[in-house]
């Protein structure tokens, strides 16, 4: 049965909420089959799949296409589409149309906005219109040109600002909140203050749930942040398989007889 926004809210505090990214149908199918609650079609697709150095170049069309693939391949997980850089925030009508595409065309159940003072009103408007919003505070990679990829909320002032913004987004109707790369004690304070579930990445153990980029979690990335645990070694498994294939073709071992088909009637027709 499909996980709903309400299920995610109800799970908070009882059991940890699990969330992973996915960007394609095969990965989404695996993540879904393993019972992960939420699949985030992250704009991290820019780094992980599209060969960009940041998430900034990712377009609404690319997100809609990836989200549609993930939606088609899943039965149970809640699918959340990340809104890419500048697709929201500067013009309410355009922001809502772009977010609406993720639900109407691509089959997502919610969107995520990298949040700040500029997304409070927008979160309220989207929530009123039936677009569930996952907020995102702390390290927000779309602000890389201002903040880099540094840990956020590390001063009393910054932590207080984060707490205020978390409360403002909850009051605006956000159904959950990603906290990225913030001190564990700040994440705990935010989690204890708001009633919406917090989902941490590099935010310690006290959030209501955890999220990782799937490529990092399965061991496909060449580099991972310090807060990541790799739970597999898919990159070297894949490299071994590719190497074995190349060697088999070069040595003539592949394709073998069992991989070939002969039509006897067609022998000697030329
Ligand atoms: O784009 C993404 O993958 C994200 C997660 C790291 C939360 O925003």
What digits encode the pLDDT tens for the residues 153-162?
Answer: 999 999 999 9
Q: Which residue is catalytic, options 105, 124, 157, 180?
A: 180
Q: How far is CA 239 from CA 14, 23, 24, 234, 248, in A?
A: 40, 21, 20, 8, 14
Angle (CA) 121 126 128, round 5°: 95
- Tell me the C-alpha distance between 155 and 258, whole Å: 65
Which pLDDT band, with edges at 50, 70 and 90, does 135 fall under?
very high
Which pLDDT band, with edges at 50, 70 and 90, does 117 fall under?
very high
Mean pLDDT of 91-117: 98
Mark whether 237 is an active-site residue: no
Exposed e or buried b per residue across 153-176, where buried means at least 16 C-beta atoms within 10 angstroms of its C-beta: beeeeebebbbebbebbbebbbbb
Task: Output the known binding site for 3-methyl-2-oxobutanoate.
Answer: 43-44, 82, 112
The CATH superfamily label for domain 5-232 reads Phosphoenolpyruvate-binding domains (3.20.20.60)
Q: Whose CA is nearest to atom 3 of ligand 1?
A: 42
Q: Residues 48-102: pLDDT tens digits?
A: 999 999 999 999 999 999 999 999 999 999 999 999 999 999 999 999 999 999 9
Give the percent of the chain with pLDDT over 90: 96
Q: Whose CA is nearest to atom 8 of ligand 1?
A: 42
pLDDT at 208 over 90: yes
Cα of 43 vs centre of ligand 1, distance in Å, is 6
Q: Whose CA is nearest to atom 1 of ligand 1?
A: 42
């Amino acid at each position: 049965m499909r996980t709903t926004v309400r299920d995610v809210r109800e799970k908070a505090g009882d059991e940890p909420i699990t969330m992973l990214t996915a960007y394609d149908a095969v990965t989404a199918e695996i993540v879904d089959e393993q019972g992960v609650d939420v699949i985030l079609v992250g704009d991290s697709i820019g780094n992980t799949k599209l060969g960009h150095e940041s998430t900034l170049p990712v377009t609404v069309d690319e997100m809609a296409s990836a989200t549609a693939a993930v939606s088609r391949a899943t039965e149970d997980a809640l699918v959340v589409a990340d809104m890419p850089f500048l697709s929201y925030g500067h013009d309410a009508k355009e922001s809502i149309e772009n977010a609406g595409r993720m639900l109407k065309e691509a089959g997502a159940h919610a969107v995520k906005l990298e949040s700040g003072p500029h997304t409070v009103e927008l979160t309220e408007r989207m929530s009123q219109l039936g677009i569930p919003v996952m907020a995102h505070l702390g390290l927000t990679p779309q602000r890389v040109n201002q903040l880099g990829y540094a840990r956020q909320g590390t001063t009393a002032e910054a932590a207080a600002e984060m707490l205020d913004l978390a409360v403002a987004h909850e009051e605006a109707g956000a159904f959950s909140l990603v906290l990225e790369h913030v001190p564990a004690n700040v994440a705990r304070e935010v989690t204890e203050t708001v009633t919406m579930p917090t989902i941490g990445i590099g935010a310690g153990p006290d959030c209501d749930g955890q999220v990782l980029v799937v490529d990092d979690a399965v061991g496909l990335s060449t580099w991972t942040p310090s807060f990541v645990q790799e739970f597999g070694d898919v990159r070297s498994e894949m490299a071994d398989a590719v190497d074995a294939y190349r060697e088999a073709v070069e040595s003539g071992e592949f394709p073998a007889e069992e991989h070939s088909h002969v039509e006897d009637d067609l022998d000697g027709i030329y």
